[in-house]
Amino acid sequence: MRKISCLALLLVGVAMTGFAQGGGVRAASKPDMNGTWKLNVAQSDFGEAPPPIRQSEVVKQAGDEFAIEITLEREQGKQHYTLRFQVGGAEMPLAKGSFADDAPFRVLSVKGEWQGPVLVVTEKVSFQGEEGTLKASYSLSGDRKVLRKATHVSMSAGEFDTKTVYDKE
């Protein structure tokens, strides 16, 4: 249980997945998610883990090509890395040097797919040497000013979910 709490502390806000569709998602099957998105802590649900001090995600989308730059700050330190993938394409390993050699958490690979208007990003990760999966579903509000992400984390030590809300800057 201690390991799950530690994992939750490191991963909350990093994991990616969108809320269930609620009120006002555009009818378009592939919404434009481009932009800088700042975490709205008050509207997010981190479960038992404390929220990050700061978090933002910069989404760069060109058709089915994505780059999601994640910047996360916690009391334990900062993380900054980029997930690059083509929706519907092969699983992509993260670039060498994306994480410090001694980082307890690392993203190993990423893959994206559209499920209607929801972008589902699956990351294979390593936490303290144990591999697992983060499955994040991104959905965009109808006015395109709010990005919602529901994330399911699955590790050998257990599973948990987070829901994060981001406002467009």
Share of the chain above pLDDT 70, in %: 83
| Interval 40-92: pLDDT, tens | 999 999 987 789 999 999 999 999 999 999 999 998 889 999 999 999 999 99
| pLDDT band at 20; cut points 50, 70, 90 | very low
| Strand segments (E) across the chain | 35-39, 54-62, 65-74, 77-86, 92-93, 105-115, 118-127, 130-140, 146-155, 158-168
Task: Give how far Cα 49 sits from Cα of 28, 33, 142, 166, Å.
Answer: 34, 27, 30, 18
* pTM recorded for the entire structure: 0.84
**Rounded CA gap, 151 and 162, in Å?**
5
For 2-168, which CATH superfamily applies?
Answer: Calycin beta-barrel core domain (2.40.128.20)
Domain boundaries, the chain: 2-168
Name the strand (E) or helix (H) holding 10. helix 2-11
